[in-house]
Structure 1
Amino acid sequence: MSKVVLFIIVANVLFSLKGFNDQLFFNKNKFQIGAIKNGEYLRMLTSGFLHVDPKHLLFNMITLYFFGDNVVNILGLWKFLLIYFGSLIFGGLFSLSYHKDDLYYSAVGASGAVMGVIYAAIMLYPDMALGFIFFPFFDIPGYIFGLGYLLYSIYGMKNSVGNIGHSAHLGGAIGGFALTLLLFPDVLSQNTKMVIILGIPILLLFIFEKKLSKN
């Protein structure tokens, strides 16, 4: 594992453990529409290092472990960081827009950043496959996992599943998609089919945005 991916995982673990044991710290740093509209913009960053519970933290960090190094290996340290934090901010902005009228809406999680890394990794390595301890006898294509994660996010947005930032997943995917094209435009000619496959859900999201909206 690259040092930068390890550092981000450790930072998420330490920040989340603090949040698990300190409700005041958790409430002060979580993503909340009303507080952000009142000028507490730092929450858009700090909320990405908090998690609802150990299971939520473990899932995000294992996913980052599987996909992160693939992005670092091709794009390098600084471009990986741009995609990670850019997707985190993109996810926050999307959530802010989607829930703009719900001042009490709150969420936490690195999911927006992780979703951006997933998208970047699949665009760069379209043939990648994941081997999970739960499925030891076969591998899951990376793009199946990524699209499945995105569909779950849409379901979570519509049904308000947990205190997880499902809308941030979608914003993170958009951020990861756009930033990868910007930072490594050759991917468009090298892996055209996968770029199109991953771009379709984003396009449909914009087309059916009003139907997706709770309002």
Structure 2
Amino acid sequence: MFNHTTLIIIVTVIVSLIAWQNKAVLNRLIFYPPAIEDGQWYRFITHGFIHADSMHLLFNMFTLYFFGRAIEGLYEPFLGGYGFIVFYLLAIIVAMIPSYLKNKGNASYLSLGASGGVSAVLFAFILLAPWDMIYLFAVIPIPAILFAVAYVVYSINANKRGGSNINHMAHLWGGAFGVVATIALEPRVLPHFINALLSPSF
């Protein structure tokens, strides 16, 4: 069966490739506060379908492929079977709201990439399987819950330091949305997470 995770990846790869070849397309889709102030609200979504380079795209889509397929079924009963797509798109939007509010008057601010949505998917997976192994750089095994703690601490510190082209704030808010939205949709996930957390298995 052709799943929604694969569909999102295909669309993202195609749009990213087109944007790399056509600067006008990139400029039209990228997150740019002054353009949003002019009413181009669609950029809250479209920025999540373009990427800075091939490594940026590969990392996000590689992560989405493995964890999206693992949790997609949880959202399938909602919104006529399109729950996962809506969850993913909302994550991209919500993850950028704090950055937008902070940079509304910043004409030099730009942001792109699916990291907000991917972070939501990753943290939703951690709720379901906190002790499953996540392979950092596809090599180093780390229990998912420990990865989540390290990821949050790193992102907070990196966001405070600044000086990076990475939108760490979007990562944090995307992850937070993934946790809150998943528990709101399926409250049984929370006691499942707590029970799993108290019963480590490797």
Answer yes or no: same fold by TM over 0.5: yes
Cα distance per residue 1:125-152 (max 9 Å; x no partner): 22221346752xx632122333444344
Query: How far off its partner does 1:71 sit?
Result: 1.3
Confirm or deny: 8 A CA contact 2:92 2:174 kept in the other structure.
Answer: yes
Corresponding position: 1:108 with 2:109: no
Query: How far off its partner does 1:188 sit?
Result: 1.6
The letter for the 2-side match of 1:174 is A
Confirm or deny: 8 A CA contact 1:79 1:183 kept in the other structure.
Answer: no
* Aligned mates of 1:101, 1:127 — CA distance in 2: 43
Correspondences of 1:1-215 after superposition (within 5 Å) = 3-76=3-76, 77-131=81-135, 134-135=138-139, 139-158=141-160, 159-162=162-165, 164-192=166-194
Which stretches of structure 1, 4 residues or more, deviate above 6 A after TM superposition? none
Q: CA RMSD in A?
A: 2.3
**Please, which runs of 5 or more residues in structure 1 have no aligned partner?**
196-215
* Aligned mates of 1:2, 1:175 — CA distance in 2: 26
Confirm or deny: 8 A CA contact 1:98 1:167 kept in the other structure.
Answer: no
Cα distance per residue 1:88-113 (max 9 Å; x no partner): 11012122123234232111000000
Confirm or deny: 8 A CA contact 1:66 1:130 kept in the other structure.
Answer: no
Cα distance per residue 1:48-101 (max 9 Å; x no partner): 001111011111011111211121133325332232111111012122123234
Cα distance per residue 1:132-177 (max 9 Å; x no partner): 6752xx6321223334443443344332412x43322122112112
DSSP 3-state at the match of 2:82: helix
For structure 1, which segment, 120-129 or 145-154, has the greater mean C-alpha deviation from structure 2 after superposition? 145-154
The letter for the 2-side match of 1:173 is G
| 1:208 corresponds to | none
Q: Normalization by structure 2: what TM-score?
A: 0.84
DSSP 3-state at the match of 2:66: helix
CA gap 1:152/1:100 in 2 versus in 1, 3 angstroms:
farther
| Count of aligned pairs between the two proteins | 192
DSSP 3-state at the match of 1:106: coil
Query: How far off its partner does 1:193 sit?
Result: 6.7
* Aligned mates of 2:21, 2:168 — CA distance in 1: 24
DSSP 3-state at the match of 2:90: helix
**Please, which runs of 5 or more residues in structure 2 have no aligned partner?**
198-202
* Aligned mates of 1:82, 1:117 — CA distance in 2: 12
